[in-house]
Amino acid sequence: MTFITFEGVEGSGKTTQIRLLMAWLQAQHDRVLLTREPGGTHIGEQIRAILLDPAHTAMTPEAEILLFSAARAQIVRELIRPRLAEGWIVICDRFADSTLAYQGYGHGLPLEDLRRITEFATGGLKPDLTVYLDLDVEIGLRRKAGTEEWNRMEAQTLAFHQRVRAGYLALARAEPHRWLVLDATQPIDVIQAHIRARVREFLHGA
Ligand code: TYD
């Protein structure tokens, strides 16, 4: 069983890289699932709509973490764990590290509390590999600004996103064996080649 997550700051090209990796994996394996957080299940997608609604400016960081965690508790049990148990490769666009980076480093909620809540939500499930696409946040936000994808999280201040990025880098430094940190300013095919090389090693146990 292989559980791979993707993380990145806004506009890092995560979606493009996931799409390319999926095409490559599906050409070699029957059992590959792509899902995303928040969302991925019927219940989770409804929670996602509440979380990302630009009208919900009054949402407190505490409410936010519990909603993200509720969606996570659902997707882990309804989708991710059962598929992993059946031998699928599961790719998830964002997972628990997003909570530590955004709600923890970004909003300043205590990391210890977040780790406890996350542990409860995931039942201890951790990714085998986490690909992080690292990018200067001003470049990333400029790439996304004004597009339809602009949501409540992206409307945060620049300083918030800079803390998120620093948070990701700190998380990656703390667990270097799990993280693959890539410079997202590189050409798309170069980034994809790095990802495939690491995933190949992983799948073949090298
Ligand atoms: P989405 O449109 O999926 O953004 P992206 O394409 O960048 O993944 O929106 C998800 C947003 O939710 C994104 O800004 C990150 C944020 N988020 C958190 O703040 N905490 C979390 O635990 C998760 C999973 C996402």
Q: Which range among 1-5, 33-37, 170-174 shows the weakest confidence by mean pLDDT?
A: 1-5
Q: Tell me which residue of 96, 133, 117 sits closest to 21, measured CA to CA.
A: 133
One-letter identity of residue 149: E
Give yes or no for a contact between 61 and 109, defined as CB atoms under 8 angstroms apart. Answer: yes
Res 34 pLDDT > 60: yes
d(CA 98, CA 9): 9
Dump pLDDT digits (tens) for 50-95: 999 999 999 999 999 999 999 999 999 999 999 999 999 999 999 9
Give yes or no for a contact between 92 and 37, defined as CB atoms under 8 angstroms apart. Answer: yes
Question: Domains of the chain, with CATH numbers?
Answer: 2-205 (3.40.50.300)
Closest approach atom of ligand 1 to CA 15: 6
With the most atoms of ligand 1 within 8 angstroms of its CB, the residue from 34, 51, 102 to mutate is 102
Q: How far does residue 140's CA lie from ligand 1's centre (Å)?
A: 14
Q: Model confidence at 147, in pLDDT bands (50, 70, 90)?
A: low
More confident residue, 158 or 67: 67
Give yes or no for a contact between 156 and 25, defined as CB atoms under 8 angstroms apart. Answer: no
Instruction: State the pLDDT at residue 65.
Output: 97
d(CA 63, CA 109): 12
Q: Model confidence at 12, in pLDDT bands (50, 70, 90)?
A: very high
